[in-house]
């Protein structure tokens, strides 16, 4: 049944009459119901040239954002492997990395780090992901970002909006686990 619906929609989409955002609506429904097999069928079929997973659907939702909120790292990582844009931001202007840190989705953070993202990119509020992880007292995110920074020679001596570097910030906030980790 799904094959028939998808084929019908995709055939209509190949004409200029159909809005291609309907394809992403179908993709987002499939993501919502966590149907990896159907997702692969749609993305890898003969209509791949008319699908753009980096565009919003008719409800203004991106497939990669839908996958993020579904907490399915397999689908999230699959979308990235199929050309999903890790620089897409949600409707509030938050990056995927900032969202993953806020929600403590470590598997998503690891997926993003494998994409060699810019971990020093500020969010919409001018905050660095590393500072954000410290302010949330999230030692696991701090460790993931720190290890990635060390492995890729990235300077993580960024400052918060008050000018405090990570070590001073963690001390001021009395987040001693992070403070001692940063001292190492």
Worst-scoring range by mean pLDDT, 17-21, 73-77, 93-97, 107-111?
17-21
Cβ(166)–Cβ(156) below 8 Å: yes
Q: What CA–CA distance (Å, rounded) separates 34 from 128? A: 31
In a domain, 97, yes or no: no
In a domain, 68, yes or no: yes
For residue 68, give its domain range: 1-85
Domain total for the chain?
1
Angle of CA points 170, 171, 177, to nearest 5°: 65
In a domain, 123, yes or no: no
How does pLDDT run across 138-165, given as a tens digit for each residue?
A: 999 999 999 999 999 999 999 999 999 9
What is the average pLDDT value for the chain, to the nearest integer? 90
Q: What CA–CA distance (Å, rounded) separates 102 from 3? A: 37
Q: What CA–CA distance (Å, rounded) separates 82 from 74? A: 12
In a domain, 34, yes or no: yes
Cβ(50)–Cβ(22) below 8 Å: no
Indicate the pTM of the whole model.
Answer: 0.89
* Cα radius of gyration (the chain): 19
In a domain, 150, yes or no: no
In a domain, 71, yes or no: yes
Measured CA distances, 61 to 16, 25, 38, 146, 152 (Å): 22, 8, 19, 31, 32
Q: Which two tokens stand for residue 184?
A: 């190492």
DSSP annotation string for 130-154: HHHHHHTT-HHHHHHHHHHHHHTT-
In a domain, 2, yes or no: yes
Worst-scoring range by mean pLDDT, 43-47, 105-109, 119-123?
43-47
In a domain, 64, yes or no: yes
How does pLDDT run across 165-182, given as a tens digit for each residue?
A: 999 999 999 999 999 999
Residue 95: strand pairing partners: 89
């Amino acid at each position: 049944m799904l094959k028939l619906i998808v084929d019908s929609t995709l055939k209509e989409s190949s004409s200029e009459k159909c809005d291609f955002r309907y394809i992403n609506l179908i993709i987002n429904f499939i993501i919502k119901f966590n149907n990896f097999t159907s997702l692969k069928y749609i993305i890898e079929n003969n209509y791949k040239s008319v699908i753009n997973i980096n565009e919003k659907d008719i409800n203004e939702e991106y497939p990669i954002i839908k996958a993020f909120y579904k907490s399915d790292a397999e689908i999230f990582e699959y979308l990235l492997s199929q050309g999903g844009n890790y620089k897409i931001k949600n409707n509030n202007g938050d990056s995927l990395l900032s969202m993953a840190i806020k929600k403590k989705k470590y598997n998503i953070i690891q997926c993003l780090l494998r994409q060699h993202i810019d971990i020093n990119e500020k969010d919409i509020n001018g905050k660095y992901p590393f500072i954000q992880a410290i302010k949330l007292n999230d030692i696991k995110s701090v460790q993931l970002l720190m290890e990635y920074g060390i492995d890729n020679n990235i300077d993580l001596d960024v400052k918060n909006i008050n000018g405090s570097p990570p070590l001073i910030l963690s001390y001021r906030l009395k987040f001693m686990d992070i403070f001692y980790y940063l001292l190492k």
